[in-house]
């Protein structure tokens, strides 16, 4: 997670506007949705770089639309970092497509902002949406996977292909594994060379020098040689149904051995030769010194010296140290300071209550203005219709019609501009309040559970809520989150970092 300063870098966002023909007939204007989204982005100081408009398009299926494809391409390339739209139904009414869109955004590290549902996944509260979507997608995948996996053991026991490629040295013939006339001799040669030289790198080098290549045309490596030596297929015992992946990635895991299925196939080498080669491998592995995993310190990447340099924990050192000015702080002291800061996360309870009350009242005030503005728009529409009827009937002259209609048209235009802005201010207030509630809950819970968490869990939480830790000569400044500030008019302005300074005893 990158370390951020007091203000976030400007986020490049896109606006998604989809209004069906039926909605437009009912007076639902695409321009209104666009203005509301732009006003929200402006309130968050985001830069709108793209607009995706799907006028008159049904929400039953939008994934194949050129604008949807352009939007997804921009998300994947990083051109836009978030997509703002008025409500989820405008993005997709098809649940499957909504799940797919959300998963793409999550994988690309981009945010979804649905104003009507107060979902902004760049905020603590909004991130819950991705969790819910992921759970729904997981359930759908598991339903499909259960049906598919039920047939896998049966197919494996019958020696049928399960969709994977045949092992090197073999090929599928009439859905049965048969030795490959070209690869089979090379596979057998690997065992002979290894028993002779007892080094996998040497075997790979000799194979490459003789012009042999893997199935995809690559040069042999020691890891490829190791894998082929251990595979029991060469001695006539093919293993299947022994791995699985939960997310269709390359992160495979082994199934319990009770689920593995072995089938007999034609051997490329004798079993004694296979056992001899693998005995050498076992002896070599047992003699190798196991390397210790490098320690990932809790605040690595977040701890900075007051001089601006990052602070690191050197080998066998109990402290974070600045290599430039030699400023240092014990590891245990910094963790204690951090945990204590969780207790006073954000501001005092009284300040929180006052801030919430002010924000809620500001929201209600704007909602009253929205209701009044919408009512006035309806009155203007009725007056314009009446005026047009009078003009059509010849009861008013052209000049009189223009004189009466001009102020009505100007007032309607101003209201059509102002109402989306007011609605965006309400959206910002609602989302900020939800985010603060979630952040407060998380902070209090973290403080209580801190000592029970594993180092990995602590690190994940630090990455989730920490922006920067600055270690000075007398105090430690911890930027845990961003608080929305309010100007005199009550509007939400650019979020300012809330810095908590805590003194700690310096060791060494």
Positions marked catalytic? 20
Please name which of 103, 171, 160 lies closest in space to residue 137, comparing C-alpha atoms: 103
In terms of DSSP bridges, do strands 243-244 and 253-254 run parallel, antiparallel, or are they unpaired?
antiparallel
CA distance 233 to 177: 10
Per-residue HEC secondary structure of 353-386 comes to HHHHHHHHHHHHHHHHHHHHHHHHHHHHHHHHHH
CA distance 325 to 321: 9
Chain centre distance of CA 227? 34
CA distance 484 to 156: 59
Residue 95 phi, psi dihedral angles, 5° rounding: -60, -40
b vs e for 90-104, b when ≥16 Cβ sit within 10 Å of the residue's Cβ? bbbbbeebbbbbbbe
CA distance 339 to 98: 38
H helix or E strand, kind and range, residue 433: helix 398-449
CA distance 89 to 116: 10
8 A C-beta contact, residue 228 and residue 168:
yes
SS3 181: coil
**What would the DSSP string read from start to end of 4-65?**
--SSPPPPEEEEEEEE-HHHHHTT--HHHHHHHHHHHHHHTT-EEEEEEEEET--SS--TTS
Chain centre distance of CA 338? 26
8 A C-beta contact, residue 225 and residue 208:
no
CA distance 297 to 230: 36
CA distance 127 to 119: 8
Give me the sheet containing 468-471, strands edge to edge: 303-305, 468-471, 475-483, 496-503
């Amino acid at each position: 997670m990158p370390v951020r300063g007091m203000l976030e870098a400007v986020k490049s966002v896109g606006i998604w506007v989809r209004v069906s023909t039926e909605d437009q007939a009912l007076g639902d204007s695409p321009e209104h949705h666009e203005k509301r989204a732009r006003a929200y982005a402006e309130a968050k100081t985001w830069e709108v770089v793209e607009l995706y408009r799907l006028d008159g398009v049904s929400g039953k299926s939008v994934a194949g639309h050129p604008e949807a494809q352009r939007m997804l391409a921009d998300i994947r390339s990083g051109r836009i970092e978030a997509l703002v739209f008025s409500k989820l139904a405008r993005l997709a009414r098809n649940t499957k497509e909504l799940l797919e869109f959300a998963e793409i955004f999550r994988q690309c590290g981009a945010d979804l902002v649905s104003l009507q549902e107060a979902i902004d996944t760049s905020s603590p509260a909004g991130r819950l949406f991705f969790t819910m979507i992921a759970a729904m997608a997981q359930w759908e995948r598991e339903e499909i996977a259960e049906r598919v996996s039920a047939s896998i053991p049966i197919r494996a026991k019958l020696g049928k292909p399960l969709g994977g490629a045949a092992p090197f040295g073999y090929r599928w013939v009439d859905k049965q594994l048969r030795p490959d006339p070209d690869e089979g001799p090379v596979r057998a040669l690997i065992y002979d060379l290894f028993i002779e030289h007892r080094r996998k790198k040497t075997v790979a080098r000799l194979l490459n020098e003789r012009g042999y290549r893997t199935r995809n045309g690559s040069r042999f490596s020691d890891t490829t040689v190791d894998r082929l030596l251990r595979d029991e297929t060469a001695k006539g015992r093919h293993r299947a149904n022994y791995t699985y992946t939960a997310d269709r990635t390359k992160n495979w895991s082994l199934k319990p051995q009770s689920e593995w299925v072995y089938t007999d196939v034609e051997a490329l080498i004798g079993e004694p030769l296979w056992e001899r080669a693998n005995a050498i491998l076992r002896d070599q592995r047992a003699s190798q010194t196991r390397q210790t995993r490098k320690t990932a310190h809790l605040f690595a990447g977040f701890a900075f010296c007051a001089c601006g340099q990052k602070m690191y924990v050197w080998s066998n050192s109990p402290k974070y140290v600045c290599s430039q000015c030699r400023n240092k702080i014990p590891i245990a002291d910094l963790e204690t300071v951090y945990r204590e800061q969780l207790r006073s996360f954000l501001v005092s309870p009284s300040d929180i209550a006052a801030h919430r009350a002010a924000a809620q009242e500001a929201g209600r005030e704007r909602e009253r203005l929205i209701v009044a503005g919408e009512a006035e728009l309806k009155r203007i529409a009725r007056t314009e219709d009446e005026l047009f009827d009078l003009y059509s009937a010849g009861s008013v002259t052209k000049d009189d019609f223009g004189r009466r209609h001009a102020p009505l048209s100007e007032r309607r235009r101003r209201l059509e501009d102002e109402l989306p802005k007011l609605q965006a201010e309400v959206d910002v207030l609602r989302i900020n309040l939800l985010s603060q509630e979630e952040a407060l809950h998380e902070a209090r819970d973290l403080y209580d559970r801190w000592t029970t968490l594993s180092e990995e869990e602590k690190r994940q939480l630090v990455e989730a809520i920490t922006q920067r830790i600055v270690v000075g000569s007398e105090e430690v400044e911890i930027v845990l989150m961003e608080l929305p500030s309010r100007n005199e008019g009550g509007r939400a302005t650019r979020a300012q970092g809330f810095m908590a300074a805590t003194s700690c005893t310096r060791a060494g």
